[in-house]
Amino acid sequence: MTENLDRRRLLTNAVVGSAALAGATALGSLAPEAAFAAPGEQAVEPGAPDPNFAEGRITGISAGMLFVTGSDLALWRIRITGGTSIWKLRPTTFDQVAVGDGLYARGLRLPDGTLAADSVWVNIVNVHAHIAAIGRNLLHLDHKGKRIVGHLVPGTSAARYNNTPAVSDMSMLRVGKHVQVIGAWVPDTNEVEIATVYAAA
Amino acid sequence: MISWIAPLQPLLLGIVLLWSARLKLLSPHAAAAAGRSALAKLVGDTRALPAYRLVGAGEAALALVLLAPPALPAEALAAAALSLGFTGYLAYARVAAPDSSCGCLSATRTPVRWRSFARTGALLAASMLALPAAGSWFDVLRGRPLPAAALLLAETALLVVLSPELDRHWLDRLRQLKVQVTRPLPAGGFDVPLDSTVEQLHRSPVWRETAALLTSDLREHWDDDDWRILVFTARHHGQEVAAVYAVPRLRYQPAAVRVVLVDEPTGQVLLTLESPPDSPEPDWVLPSPAAAAA
């Protein structure tokens, strides 16, 4: 834990500590070749599955590796590295990922068949629905006639009204109105934890 | 007791059937409602609208017969048969086309649920109650106006409660009222959601220059006084590095966003970048050093 705090202090100092930066680029170069030095995008045939993308339910977890069964029953081994971003309602860490979670992952397919993940989004869902009822920190959503229960997580859930920047004020949500919800599904239920709700106000 | 209740039922049934027939025969949305209903599956897409209109015509005819004196047991039996037919249709819709709309009283999309079944059950019960009717509803209304009106109101209220199509007229209003009274949702403090910071980052000049380097989504974030620090993974000269952005936390000032690329294992800073300071005046207004010297 203290190691993590030290690391954060180091990174914080690196970015805001050197307040007296002279020009636009004080150190290093941002030549185009820096951006394109990365291995070029592998061309994917139109209609062919993208080899660098995986989706499915997690069936097993071992050190640094997720075993995932895709919806087409493809078996994936997804390697999580220090550079992998993991989203589960919020940016989080590998130990928060559980067996039974669903995921989308993007990365680079290695010759041994594993996918070295750049980004993993766990349980992420995108729902267009109507608000059927509102309870304490709860949105009951009507999604094509089926009920979805959306939990607002204080401190994390945000609302965007009319595409303005996100705020934590949820009080402008109205029963009967249309909303779009980005959230984290609670596996094997009809419940989601809400990350962002888009609404008109 | 039954002597004044029974003659009122044809009035109720007649009004409900007329309401239902109005949608099927006169509404401009009838074609859409027919296409969404299970009729499209039952008789085919092309025959759905004629079948829908035929049902409406049947309902209207029966309604007029029910409303017109005299009250005959055969009319009540016909209404009961129609209710039974609706129940069968609803069961078919539930099983064969669960995504279809009821198409019963309104063109609003309403999936078939228990309330639709309960409503046809209530109509069936009203039809059975109407069987022993001896006189006309008009005489009962004139003879006992208050109890008759109360009974009709209660029955209508029951049918409204059992009609999902009408929810937006009363149930949604009630729930909105409840929300206004109890205020169950957080009205929000002054803390800035992460989404808001990420959006400010996306609108910054620094992001435009460095976004192409990033390989990962947001990895980590924390607050440091006026700044919110956002960490991504980037690829720089073929090397995996951490892209550490500092975004103003409590102000909206995308031009103040800065970034460093850090090689995490060694802690070495590979690149720092911040945009030129925001100035309200264009560059050519600033005095040039040459002019100042002369």
Query: Strand order of the sheet with strand B220-224?
Result: A25-27, B268-274, B258-263, B239-248, B227-236, B220-224
Q: Is the pLDDT of residue A41 over 80?
A: no
- A-B contacts (CB, under 8 Å): 182
B191 close contact with A: CB closer than 8 A: yes
Q: In chain B, what residues touch A147 (CB-CB under 8 Å)?
A: none
Q: Which of B215, B231, B237 sits opposite A34 (nearest CB)?
A: B237
> How many residues make up chain A in this entry?
201
How many CA atoms lie within 13 Å of B249's alpha carbon, on the beta-carbon side? 14
* Mean predicted confidence (pLDDT) in B154-182: 92
The continuous run of DSSP H or E covering A198 comes out as: strand A191-199
d(CA A200, CA A195): 17
Query: Can you give the pLDDT at residue B283?
Result: 63
Could you tell me which of B107, B122, B140 has the C-alpha nearest to residue B1? Answer: B140
Q: In chain B, what residues touch A165 (CB-CB under 8 Å)?
A: 195-196, 199-200, 252
Q: Which residues contact A73 (CB under 8 A, 6 or more apart)?
A: none
Total Cβ atoms within 10 A of residue B283: 8
Q: In chain B, what residues touch A153 (CB-CB under 8 Å)?
A: none
Query: Can you give the pLDDT at residue B105?
Result: 83
Structure tokens at B219: 């990895």
d(CA A151, CA A166): 17
Most confidently modeled range among A12-26, B100-114, B122-136: B122-136
Q: Is the pLDDT of residue B107 over 50?
A: yes
Q: In chain A, what residues touch B236 (CB-CB under 8 Å)?
A: 34, 37
* Mean predicted confidence (pLDDT) in B113-127: 93
Q: Specify whether the CB–CB gap between B246 and A2 falls below 8 A.
A: no
Q: Which of residues 238-257 of B touch A (CB under 8 A)?
A: 238, 240, 242, 244-246, 252
Sign of CA dihedral A93, A99, A104, A109: positive
* Mean predicted confidence (pLDDT) in A50-54: 91
B269/A25 touch (CB, cutoff 8 Å), yes or no: no
How close is the nearest chain A Cα to the Cα of B53, in Å? 26
d(CA B208, CA A144): 39
| Least confident span in A15-29, B29-43, B82-96 | A15-29
pLDDT band at A73, cuts 50/70/90?
very high
Q: Is the pLDDT of residue A22 over 70?
A: no
Q: What is the DSSP letter of A15?
A: I
B186 close contact with A: CB closer than 8 A: yes
Q: Is the pLDDT of residue A44 over 90?
A: no
B276 close contact with A: CB closer than 8 A: yes
Structure tokens at A35: 């951006």
B262/A118 touch (CB, cutoff 8 Å), yes or no: no
B231/A154 touch (CB, cutoff 8 Å), yes or no: no
Total-model pTM: 0.81
Q: Is the pLDDT of residue B140 over 50?
A: yes
d(CA B4, CA B222): 75
B186/A28 touch (CB, cutoff 8 Å), yes or no: no
Most A-contacting residue of B109, B219, B251, B271 (CB-CB within 10 A), to test interface: B219
Q: In chain B, what residues touch A174 (CB-CB under 8 Å)?
A: 176, 179
High-pLDDT (> 70) share of chain B, %: 93
Q: Which residues contact B127 (CB under 8 A, 6 or more apart)?
A: B9, B13, B76, B77, B79, B80, B82, B83
* Mean predicted confidence (pLDDT) in A29-55: 70
Amino acid identity at A97: V
B186/A83 touch (CB, cutoff 8 Å), yes or no: no
| Closest-approach residue (CA) in chain B for A154 | B186
Q: Is the pLDDT of residue B282 over 80?
A: no
A14/B273 touch (CB, cutoff 8 Å), yes or no: no
What CATH number is given for A124-199 in this structure? 2.40.50.140
The continuous run of DSSP H or E covering B73 comes out as: helix B73-96
Query: Can you give the pLDDT at residue A29?
Result: 64
Q: Is the pLDDT of residue B291 over 60?
A: no
Query: Can you give the pLDDT at residue B54?
Result: 93
Geometric angle at alpha carbon B19, from B16 and B24, rounded to 5°: 125
A11/B219 touch (CB, cutoff 8 Å), yes or no: no
B259/A171 touch (CB, cutoff 8 Å), yes or no: no
d(CA B285, CA B275): 19
Query: Can you give the pLDDT at residue B292?
Result: 47
Most confidently modeled range among A106-110, B104-108, B131-135, B275-279: A106-110
High-pLDDT (> 90) share of chain B, %: 50
Topology agreement, domain A51-122 and domain A124-199: yes
B274/A176 touch (CB, cutoff 8 Å), yes or no: no
Q: For chain A, what are the domain ranges?
A: 51-122, 124-199
Q: Which of B193, B232, B262 sits opposite A167 (nearest CB)?
A: B193
More confident residue, B47 or B277: B47
Q: Is the pLDDT of residue B279 over 90?
A: no
d(CA B4, CA B129): 11
| Closest-approach residue (CA) in chain B for A9 | B224
B186/A24 touch (CB, cutoff 8 Å), yes or no: no
Q: Which of A24, A134, A136 sits opposite B275 (nearest CB)?
A: A24
What CATH number is given for A51-122 in this structure? 2.40.50.320
Q: pLDDT by residue (tens digit) across A137-184? A: 999 999 988 899 999 998 899 999 998 989 999 999 999 999 999 999
More confident residue, B108 or B146: B146
High-pLDDT (> 90) share of chain A, %: 69
The continuous run of DSSP H or E covering A56 comes out as: strand A53-62
The dihedrals phi and psi of A135, each to the nearest 5 degrees, come to -120, -170
Query: Can you give the pLDDT at residue A172?
Result: 92
d(CA B30, CA B227): 58
What is the pairing mode between strands B227-236 and B239-248?
antiparallel
d(CA A117, CA A85): 8
Q: In chain B, what residues touch A132 (CB-CB under 8 Å)?
A: 175
pLDDT band at A38, cuts 50/70/90?
very low
pLDDT band at B144, cuts 50/70/90?
confident
Q: pLDDT by residue (tens digit) across B15-35? A: 999 999 998 999 888 888 888
Place of tokens 């039952």: B42
Residues linked to residue A76 through DSSP beta bridges, in sequence order:
A68
Query: Can you give the pLDDT at residue B68?
Result: 87
How close is the nearest chain A Cα to the Cα of B195, in Å? 6
Q: Is the pLDDT of residue A36 over 80?
A: no
